Amino acid sequence: MKLNELHDNPGAAKKRMRVGRGAGSGKGKTAGRGIKGQKSRSGVAIKGYEGGQMPLYQRLPKRGFNNINAKRYAVVNLGLIQKFIDAGKLGEEITETELVDSGLVRRVRDGVRVLGKGELTSKISLSVTGASKSAVEAIEKAGGSVSVKAAEAAPAE
pLDDT per residue as tens digits for the range 69-100: 999 999 999 999 999 999 999 888 999 999 99
Q: Pick left, alpha or beta for residue 137 (phi over 0 → left; psi -120 to 50 → alpha; otherwise beta).
A: alpha
The answer to whether the predicted template modeling score (pTM) of the entire model surpasses 0.95 is no
**Size of the chain, expressed as the number of residues it contains:** 157
Strand pairing partners for 148?
A: 128
Assign 108 to helix, strand or coil.
coil
Residue-wise pLDDT tens digits, 108-151: 889 999 999 999 888 999 999 999 999 999 999 999 899 988 65
pLDDT at 149: 85
- Three-state helix/strand/coil letters over 4-71: HHCCCCCCCCCCCCCCCCCHHHCCCCCCCCCCCCHHHCCCCCCCCCCCCCCCHHHHCCCCCCCCCCCC
The pLDDT of residue 55 is 92
- Whole-number pLDDT of residue 151: 56
pLDDT value at residue 68: 93
Domains delineated in the chain: 74-147 (3.100.10.10)
Which tens digit of pLDDT belongs to each residue from 18-76?
A: 999 999 999 999 999 999 988 888 888 788 888 889 999 999 999 999 999 999 999 99
User: Sheet harboring 145-148: ordered strands across?
Assistant: 93-95, 125-128, 145-148
Question: Are the beta carbons of 119 and 141 closer than 8 angstroms?
Answer: no
Q: Running DSSP on this structure, what letter comes out for residue 109?
A: B
